[in-house]
Chains A and B, each alone.
Chain A
């Protein structure tokens, strides 16, 4: 049984559980700032370790928190790839209609790295990896081909090799936090409509 925390003031005097003791040992060679901070939040950390929902796997690769998963990939760009991709993003003016069509994307970013030789692609999406990739390849294969034909080794969204290509370039996060892990994109949309309807209702009965 973990010791009961009675008040914030008592936390420092409580016995430190073995897993936190181990972390303290690992932090022994951290800069002072880190060691001090760790000691200060020991109590809070104990509570977090006990109560916090842990990240789960999103399936083949990536982390999931509740209903929301992360995909983080870094791909090498072909010569001229960055130039084309940049022009495409500019022309789109961040109007990613395709992402709306997929309907399970919370957010998505494209970041050029290392003098335009690499691209970081990171998304927050609903559910598991396999159906997510399926959604992409069935709903917006052309949009994806236009984007990722600028990456080295991209086999095309219709190729059976595309899943391996994505997984090979994906890097699973070591930590993943979502503010509302139980809200999918479509549930949030429904709540938006409910909120609007309630406002209209209140306006009418006033």
Chain B
């Protein structure tokens, strides 16, 4: 047996021992869960065991200052307090845009949602984006500062995107996700765009040689 295989085998067994421990700990924790949950846990335990030890997905990492990242795609989840009248203004703005705030200019945003919470006193902003936190915030600030100001002028205590305190404000209100799944963690927005072009070219090519 080569040394590489040895190392792999060793790694594998340590991994599954670790997995066993985690599963045992979970069984104990779920002891006081509703019956429905305990039964479901037993049902998924075998599946879970292979999930935990396989590790086929990249591990979750930090997106930088705050937030989680899986592969190349990060999450930002922020809940900000709204200033009096802020919700009314923001809602009018979003309605005018037909509920679609185009962040195409930023170029690294996969998706983005605005949700009003707690009788319009708070706003949830959640997005999936490429890369690290600092670069992402910089992109928003440099590429669509005016759009951003129309939205964030509804926030209580917001210092303005050009303020040196802007990033602290954002980080303070951001809540890092403890679970983060992305179907295609290796695809950035730009790479998906490139794949779309390739797909189109291939279709055209096949059309030509077929006809």
Do A and B originate from a single complex? Answer: yes
Name A residues whose Cβ lies closer than 8 Å to a Cβ of B.
19-20, 22-23, 26-27, 29-31, 33-38, 40-41, 45, 48-49, 52-55, 63, 65, 68, 70, 72, 74, 78, 80, 83-84, 86-97, 99-100, 105-113, 120, 122, 124, 141-146, 149-150, 154, 156, 171-180, 183, 185, 188-192, 194-195, 198
- Cross-chain contact of A179 among B98, B177, B189 (Cβ < 8 A): B189
- In the complex, the answer to whether B22 meets A171 with C-beta atoms within 8 Å is no
- In the complex, the answer to whether A36 meets B109 with C-beta atoms within 8 Å is no
Chain A residue nearest to B189 (CB atoms) is A179
- In the complex, the answer to whether A111 meets B178 with C-beta atoms within 8 Å is yes
- In the complex, the answer to whether A109 meets B89 with C-beta atoms within 8 Å is no
- In the complex, the answer to whether B98 meets A49 with C-beta atoms within 8 Å is yes
Q: Quick one: given A34-B150, A192-B184, are A53 and B178 in contact (CB under 8 Å)?
A: no
- In the complex, the answer to whether A191 meets B98 with C-beta atoms within 8 Å is no
Does B170 sit within 8 A of A, measured CB to CB? Answer: no
B contacts with A, residue count (CB < 8 A):
94
Q: A83-B29, A92-B52, A122-B77 are in contact. List 19 more A-B contacts (CB 8 A).
A: A30-B85, A30-B154, A34-B150, A37-B146, A70-B111, A80-B33, A91-B23, A91-B52, A93-B52, A95-B57, A108-B181, A120-B77, A143-B40, A174-B115, A176-B112, A180-B192, A191-B198, A194-B198, A194-B202
Does B1 sit within 8 A of A, measured CB to CB? Answer: no
Q: How far is the CA of A70 from the CA of B100 in the complex (A)?
A: 12
- In the complex, how many angstroms separate the beta carbon of B95 from the nearest chain A beta carbon? 8
- In the complex, how many angstroms separate the beta carbon of A146 from the nearest chain B beta carbon? 5
Chain B residues, CB < 8 A from A65? 100
Can you sample 22 A-B contacts with CB below 8 Å? A33-B153, A38-B146, A49-B98, A53-B100, A88-B26, A91-B26, A93-B55, A95-B51, A95-B56, A99-B183, A110-B178, A111-B77, A144-B40, A146-B41, A174-B94, A174-B116, A177-B109, A183-B196, A188-B195, A194-B199, A195-B194, A198-B202
Does B101 sit within 8 A of A, measured CB to CB? Answer: yes
Interface residues of B in 74-100 (CB under 8 A from A): 75, 77, 79, 83, 85, 88-100
